[in-house]
Every structure is written in C-alpha cells, then in structure tokens.
Homo-oligomer: A and B are copies of this chain.
Amino acid sequence: MTVPSVSRRDRKKAATRQAIADAALQLFLERGYDQVSIRDIADAADVSTATVFKHFSGKEALVFDQDEDRESQLIAAVRQRPSGQSILDALRQHVLDTWPAIGAHPQAAEFTNLVNSTPVLRAYAERMWTRYTDSLSAAIADEFGVDHDNLACVAIARFVLEIPVLARGRQDRQAAVGALFDILTHGWEPPSKSPGR
C-alpha cells in the first residue's frame, strides 16, 4: 500500500518508529499501561529513551499509533459532500464509512479493553476526537457563510465529534451511530422501556 518512502534513511526511520510502536503495544497488552515505563519500551525496541520521544509526542501517543489524518478527512466530508445533501447527513455517512476500518485491528478486543481500563488513555482517546472541534466547526461555518465562532456551528461540530466516543463499546455500533445522529437531527426523545438494551 502506502510506501512513499524513497530513501533508505526514511525507510530506516519508519522501521525504528514501527519497532517502538510494536514493542510498546505488546508490553502494554502484557502488563498494562501503568506497569510499563518508557525505558522498558526503549530497551525492548533497542533504542534510547530519547529516540522514543523523537518519534512520539508522549507516552499516550504510543498507544494510538496510526492517528492518521482524521482532520482532513472530516473537513473533506463536509466540503465535498454531494449537492443537496445536508451537512449532518454527510457527517453521518462519513462516520459510518470510515469506522469499520478502526475495529478491523487484529487484537481489537484486547486493545479496546486496554484503553477502557486505563483512565489516562480514555481521556486521551476522547481528546483525539474533540481536538478537531475548531477546524470542523470552521468548515461548517464556511458552508453557511457565517462567522467561525457561530454558536450553532461550534455546537454541532462538538456534538458530532462526541458520537464516536459514545458509540465505542456498543454491540451494534452502526445502529448506535444512526440513533445518535437522529438525536441531533430531530431532537432528543425519551427512551422507550421495552426494547431495553
């Protein structure tokens, strides 16, 4: 797939990064996040601790390796949506489309468990999404020709970005995403008792 690395240097750099990420993930899954120090990871990957921080901004970033460019995809989904489609529908479709890939990991279950059972990782994961509130709301505001800090735009951006967080861990994520977008589209309705969970 994506192998734009031409030079040997870039290849080696990527290899080092990968070695660190792999070592980190394995150790985290084995012992738990708090029971693994940066030094442990550096030793396992056979690099110095300084090198770890050359590749990753902090310990939490080691867990969420391929953070990718969610931001640009998000903006594109709004800007390049089919004419006539509402922004909320475009975002709903985008979330439904790009999401299965994330759960396709080999050790998805253990990984989810690791994140959910480590408070600092839960917090980091939530921030990964809400970090894009500003750029998403700016894109939405542009579509309507209003100020970037328009309250309705900031609000819907934030609410939409909460949806992945809320849907995580649900048995039927597709249905959950749909229900959450319905709340934003039509307003909240009290739950019905019978269908339960």
Give the residue name and chain of the B residue nearest to A182 (CB): B187
Interface assignment of A102: CB less than 8 Å from any CB of chain B: no
Interface assignment of A15: CB less than 8 Å from any CB of chain B: no
Interface assignment of A153: CB less than 8 Å from any CB of chain B: yes
Q: Contact: A146 with B196, CB < 8 Å? A: yes
Q: How far is the CB of A118 from chain B (nearest CB, A)?
A: 15
Instruction: Report the copy number of this chain in the oligomer.
Output: 2
CA distance A176 to B88 in the complex (A): 21
* A interface bracket (residues with beta carbon within 8 Å of B): 35 or more
Interface assignment of A156: CB less than 8 Å from any CB of chain B: yes
Q: Contact: B154 with A191, CB < 8 Å? A: no
**Interface residues in A171-197 (C-beta closer than 8 Å to B):** 176, 179-180, 183-191, 193, 196-197
Q: Contact: B159 with A191, CB < 8 Å? A: no
Indicate which residue in B151, B159, B187 contacts A162 across the interface (CB closer than 8 Å).
B159
Q: Contact: B156 with A166, CB < 8 Å? A: no
Q: Contact: B189 with A152, CB < 8 Å? A: yes
Interface assignment of A126: CB less than 8 Å from any CB of chain B: yes
**Interface residues in A64-97 (C-beta closer than 8 Å to B):** 87-88
Indicate which residue in B130, B150, B166, B197 contacts A191 across the interface (CB closer than 8 Å).
B150
CA distance A166 to B187 in the complex (A): 18
Interface assignment of A31: CB less than 8 Å from any CB of chain B: no
Partner-B contacts on A (CB < 8 A): 87-88, 123, 126-127, 130, 141, 144-147, 149-156, 158-159, 162, 165-166, 170, 176, 179-180, 183-191, 193, 196-197
